[in-house]
Amino acid sequence: MKIALVQTNPIIGAFEKNLENLSFQLARARDSGCHLSVFPELSLCGYPPRDLLERPSFLDAHDHALHEFISQVRGIACVIGVLERRRGDGKFLYNSAFFIDDGKVCFRVRKQLLPTYDVFDERRYFEPGGSALPFFFQGVTIGLSVCEDIWQDQRRYPVDPVALLMDHDMVPDFLINISASPYYHGKLSERLDVFSTLCRRHNLPLIYVNQVGGQDELIFDGHSMVMDATGAVQAAGKGFAEDMVIVETGNWQPEVRRPVPEDSPEQVLEALTLGVADYLRKIGFDRVVIGLSGGIDSAVTAAIACRALAPENVLCVALPSPYTAQMSIDDARSLAENLDCGFELLPITEAMKAYEQILSPLFSGLPEDVTEQNLQARIRGTLLMALSNKLGHLLLSTGNKSEMAVGYCTLYGDMNGGLAVLADVPKVMVYELAHLMNREKKLIPERIITRPPSAELAPDQMDQDDLPPYEILDPLLRGYLEEFLGVEELVERGFERKIVQDVISRIKRNEYKRRQAPMGLKVTSKAFGYGRRYPVAQGFVE
């Protein structure tokens, strides 16, 4: 049997566009001689629809599109992820997989394991399904599951849907899993480990089909795959792009062979590029503006923006103050020339004087402090937002995860923007991305990479005057934020107690800033935002 694994990039709630793409891909698979096409989880509405599921009109539009799609499934069968309404007590929806053949729904499976950790909140909307049976097609017995139902290897749930499936008299010849599994650095290795363990444990080949595309802060990477019963990858889909992988059952050989994906900085770069491109496309923007400081963060943000968009749709603006070094201006200009994007110079000295004059009656007799530094950032933020409004460009915020964690950023200043590209990228990884992009072509001037980082808001200011070296700060943050280590565990890892306590205190104090930050693209296992819900007002001490 010839099977097409079809990873699609839906727009949430854009039922006409999603239906058009699904119909096109279905026809492609049929014309390629496939007997079965497999689409991702919730393909028609896109994942995650969140509280749109509470709107009856949204569900009606979904059902109308589903009815139309079902009528088109002829000459080829398909598996597709859909919303299924239910009656009775509990939630009124299932997250389901339908097997459709000859214009009819012939079989259905409801997702049993509903994740509620990190960015997932499926129990808010869905009722869990019961144990599933296999189904027959083309003389083959097929098991069918939805996303989380094959992730029981981590033992978060009291039941194992795959074990229950294998406990029936009809043992499946292979298992299909349709998914909408978001990316983060390290996720590819996790998937391979979990899936290969499952295949070996049950002596069962696996067909895994994943959604692709950026959706708000989440980035879905695709990387659909086929594993044989030994856990070896026999076929792999593209990463971060729509794709169709065609395989034959039995030997599981693909028509086009691709290497098995690996976790790498290249994957992070591809994820961020897709995240920017899709966010802009799906909200209706095609141009961006970026404040270019001459530092590493804004340089990497600008370079990613030029990968995601045509460079002529990227406007970089340098806003120097009296504390800005001439080499920062020169480097910003050189970067824009290398990227072949727009560049403007807007000095803020006169605006600073105007603010100081307005505030002087109230500031009289008070020493200068961080207030004057923050004013510079807020002047820049105001000017950049004015350009955004007037020119119709989305402002990209440039701060990194290390700075966001400890509050080394200015609310209503450099935090302004419609999307924070690097908000989940630690500072050390920002440098890795810069080196990576320079391997392809020398885009980022070497001096931007080698200079000590500085906000340039005061004379001779350096980041390390106020923060630990990023080579220390980043692994400390990873231990605390992503591994949930406490003070004593971090000290046991070799971090100084004073530094640990200071960093944790900063993280807690600056929760209020992060609540007001623009949405950031998620590329680590624990990002600030929807998947990390901490109170602002709290008294807990580690």
Active site residues: 41, 111, 147
Written as six digits, the tokens of 327 are 């080499």
Strand stretches in 407-480, DSSP E: 419-420
- The strand ranges marked E within 86-201 are 93-101, 104-110, 135-137, 140-146, 174-179
The alpha-carbon radius of gyration of the chain (Å, integer) is 26
The enclosing H or E element of 202 equals helix 187-202
> Which residues, listed in sequence order, are joined to residue 178 by a DSSP beta bridge?
146, 209
User: Exposed, middle or buried, 430 (CB in 10 Å: 0-12/13-18/19+)?
Assistant: buried
Beta strands in 17-124 (DSSP E): 36-38, 77-85, 93-101, 104-110
List b or e across 521-536, with b for residues whose CB sees 16 or more CB atoms inside 10 angstroms.
Answer: bbbbbbbbbbbeeeee
Burial class (CB in 10 A: 0-12, 13-18, 19+), 150: buried
**Burial class of residue 469 in the structure, from the number of CB atoms within 10 Å of its CB (0-12 exposed, 13-18 middle, 19+ buried):** exposed
Q: Can you give the three-state secondary structure of 207-224, one letter per residue?
A: EEEECEEEECCEEEEECC
Amino acid letter, 462 = M
Secondary structure (DSSP) of 475-511 = HHHIIIIIS---HHHHHHTT--HHHHHHHHHHHHHTH
Before 56, cis peptide (omega within 30)? no
